[in-house]
Amino acid sequence: MVNIFREIVGYVHSTEGSYGSDRAEITLLANKSVHRGEYLCIKHPTEDKPVFIQVEAAFMKRPSSSYDEKMLRDGDAVQDPEKMVGKAVCWQVGYEENGVVKSLLTPIPPLTPVYRPSPEALASFISPEGPSISLGTIYPTDVRLNLSLKTLFRQGALVVGGVGTGKSTLLMSMMLKILKNVRNPHILLIDWDGEFRSDVLEKTAQEYGGYMRIAASTKLARKEKSMSPVNWYNNFRALAGLSGNAREARTLYAIAKKLEEMGVSSIEWSQQGLDTILPMVESEDVKKRLEDLGRNIFRHAPEENGLDIVEAVRSNALVHADFSDASNWDEIINKSREMLDACYAKARTDPTFGVAVFIDEVHNFAPQSPHEGAASREAYDMMIPVMKLIATTGPRNGMPLFIATQRLSEVDKFISTQMGQNIFAFRVEDVDLERLRSIMGSDIAYSARLLPRGYCIYKGHALKIQRPVICVVDKEADVASVGKDLLTRWGSYP
Ligand SMILES: Nc1ncnc2c1ncn2[C@@H]1O[C@H](COP(=O)(O)OP(=O)(O)OP(=O)(O)O)[C@@H](O)[C@H]1O
Ligand SMILES: [Mg+2]
């Protein structure tokens, strides 16, 4: 425990002279600096353990003199290090007791020494219990950022960041780490432009349970739907061309009514559905006739049925829907919707089926203003409700979403709010900063203006503490757009 408090960085000292328990203002030693988002600690007043505090703002102070301005104007910048003081404003995060994070409720006294915690102490304070994946390091330490898999899968995640900041690379790293670290994984990746065509991804998926690529031209199987017995009857009668007076129709109707009275709420629209009804038909020749009609209606050969997406997901670690061959956005949206719909219906009814869904550039799939989106209004009218449903109830039905977007404000607000519980924010545009600030509940969000690429702020429930953490993301593999820009194509780089 002793070496937790190895490095002293400063002392609690308030300019105003008041000291509370939530917030602590610090004066830094001359040779120390701290950055926004960094974790520091003080000694617990009665126990030999650290109480963590986090830097919300770091700044320099230098008293101004009346002649400063005039001297600077005249080009006389006299550096005067003696006058400069480093300051930091921190908020208390708390200390751990029996696995629970608690807060110190007494004021943090003046002149309390403030330390930079040892990496081990920080890791043990932040890292979640149970299985986790490690996505990078906590800046500026080499402590790994481990996120609880259970939480990630229970909530999914939203990735935001401006152009070229590292969103797709993070999704790629996440998928690779899930593939490698989770037993029997199943991922559905919706990739509109082939950004995730990657040998590394393909080989890794193959090694850990199978890889299947689906194109926009791949025909999907129509999933059998279930319907109420009377609707089933109506459908059957319409497709068989039976009049309502026909004996077969009347028999079927009577059975449908009887089933509803018995409390049967749905029958599968398939041969199997018919097979559950036939034994209830008394007359042998009506039964024979219905059998023949049914054979005609449910006759598709399996190959005509197209690809069964649920089976594809179940029998592979990664199903990669690569829509780079699509001829328009409606095709992409409609196909994605069909796949999501089928997987969701399965996940809801079958507790052995589950899939993590990854969608990059999600503002194209669930835009805040559908009339400004890439696909037609009709396509979005059908897609957005599915996305909303999965964003809210997907995770608890074994279907979490992992989505990324350039612009927080361009994604359907309901979805971004829902998914904002677990957020990775790379450098964002100024217009999204306030929204990010409110999602994160901390000024640390403002550091998202300055983050270099590959750096993000993580805030969510997959750590022991629900405070933002700045993370340097591991790059596991290149996404396809790397090295495909115009200057590279022209060979213009030296
Ligand atoms: N964690 C990282 N470490 C090192 N390099 C990275 C990291 N993340 C991204 N990069 C590099 O930054 C560039 C942009 O990354 P990426 O394509 O993932 O960003 P993006 O936010 O998805 O961009 P776009 O908005 O164009 O889709 C790439 O060259 C990538 O290799
Ligand atoms: Mg990208």
Q: Where are the domains of the chain?
A: 2-64+80-126, 132-220+308-489, 226-297
Structure tokens at 411: 């994604």
Whether the CA torsion 247, 252, 255, 260 is positive or negative: it is: negative
Reported confidence tier of residue 300, pLDDT bands at 50, 70, 90: low
| Segment 321-344, tens digit of pLDDT | 999 999 999 999 999 999 999 999
Cis peptide before 63 (omega within 30 of 0): no
pLDDT at 17 over 80: yes
Compute the radius of gyration of the chain from its Cα atoms. 30
Among residues 331, 446, 354, 293, the alpha carbon closest in space to that of 154 is found at 354
Closest atom, ligand 1, to C-alpha of 161 = 21
Measured at the CA of 39, the angle between CA 38 and CA 41, to 5 degrees, comes to 140
Nearest bound ligand to the CA of residue 191 = 2
**How many A from CA of 164 to the centre of ligand 1?**
5
Structure tokens at 134: 């490690």
Instruction: Give the mean pLDDT of the chain.
Output: 91
* pLDDT above 70: residue 223: no
* The residue type at 270: S
Give the separation between CA 31 and CA 9, rounded to whole angstroms. 8
What does the alpha-carbon distance between residue 144 and residue 426 come to, in Å, rounded to a whole number? 18
At 305, the pLDDT band (50, 70, 90 cuts) reads low
pLDDT class of 220 with cuts at 50, 70, 90: confident
- What are the start-end ranges of the H helices in 144-262? 149-155, 167-181, 199-207, 229-240, 247-261
CA–centroid distance, 378 to ligand 2, in Å, is: 26
Which ligand places an atom closest to the C-alpha of 161? Answer: 1
Q: What pLDDT, on the 0 to 100 scale, is given for residue 487?
A: 76
**Nearest-angstrom CA–CA distance, 87 and 219:** 62
**What one-character DSSP code corresponds to residue 317?**
S
Length of the chain: 494
Confidence of residue 266 (pLDDT cuts 50, 70, 90): confident
What number is the average pLDDT over the span 262-274? 87
Look up tokens 């979805």; give the residue. 415
Nearest CA to ligand 1 atom 28: 482
Q: How far is the CA of 15 from the centre of ligand 1 (A)?
A: 42
pLDDT value at position 242? 86
- If one residue of 134, 137, 451, 453 were mutated to test the ligand 1 pocket, choosing by the most ligand atoms within 8 A of its CB, it would be 453
From ligand 1's centre to the CA of 308, what distance in Å? 33
Which ligand is nearest the CA of 480, by number?
A: 1
Q: What six digits make up the tokens of 58?
A: 């770091």
Looking at the DSSP assignment, which residues form a beta bridge with residue 400? Answer: none
The answer to whether residue 272 scores a pLDDT higher than 80 is: yes
Residue 206 to residues 213, 247, 321, Cα–Cα distance (Å) = 11, 55, 15
pLDDT at 102 over 60: yes
- Any ligand 1 atom below 6 A from CB of 107: no
| Residue 477 CB–ligand 1 contact under 6 Å | no
The predicted-structure confidence for 26-37, as pLDDT tens digits, reads as follows 999 999 999 999
What is d(CA 84, CA 334) in angstroms, rounded to the nearest whole number? 61
Using 50, 70 and 90 to split pLDDT, how confident is the model at 298? confident
Q: Which fold has domain 132-220+308-489?
A: Rossmann fold (3.40.50)
Contact criterion met (CB below 8 Å) for 338 and 208 = no
Between 422 and 3, the more confident residue is: 422
- Mean pLDDT, residues 34-46: 94
SS (H, E, C) 8-68: EEEEECCCCCCCCCCEEEEEECCCCCCCCCCEEEEECCCCCCEEEEEEEEEEEECCCCCCH
Q: Is the pLDDT of residue 483 over 80?
A: no
Query: What is the Cα 321 distance to its own chain's centre?
Result: 18
Taking the centre of ligand 2 as the mean of its atom positions, its distance from the CA of residue 407, in whole angstroms, is 12
- Say which residues have a Cβ less than 8 Å from residue 429's Cβ, sequence separation at least 6: 162, 407
